[in-house]
Amino acid sequence: MSDTSPRVDVPPLPGEKPTVEYILSEVRQNRLNEEKNNSRVANELYLRAHPEIRDICDYVVRAVLARRRAEDTPEDVQTFVAGLLSDPALRTNVEQRKRCS
């Protein structure tokens, strides 16, 4: 099956490579919208089934904000968060934070 969606050449922003975008047919756009909605529902159901994820997110956000308030803002937030999440004491830290809240 060949794709007959019309192509649109998109001029690149400075420093970007040129891209070609496709305009989806109405049927494909509807299918994409339905799939996006199904993904959102599945994600919400997963998060509801795993409340510990919310606790971990809360712990991470609070840790980043606490560092920020102390003017000890991590230069690389991704590395800082990776360190928090890879800490063997993560479970204990999250449980302690949860009890203090």
Q: Give residue limits of the domains in the chain.
A: 7-49, 51-100
Predicted local distance difference test score (pLDDT) of residue 1: 46
Looking at residue 6, the DSSP 8-state letter turns out to be: P
**Closest-CA residue to 56 (of 99, 101, 93, 83):** 93
Highest-scoring range by mean pLDDT, 14-28, 35-49, 75-89: 35-49
Predicted local distance difference test score (pLDDT) of residue 85: 95
Distance from C-alpha of 87 to C-alpha of 101, rounded to nearest angstrom:
21
Predicted local distance difference test score (pLDDT) of residue 74: 60
Q: Is the pLDDT of residue 2 over 70?
A: no
| Maximum separation of any 2 CA atoms in the chain, in Å | 58
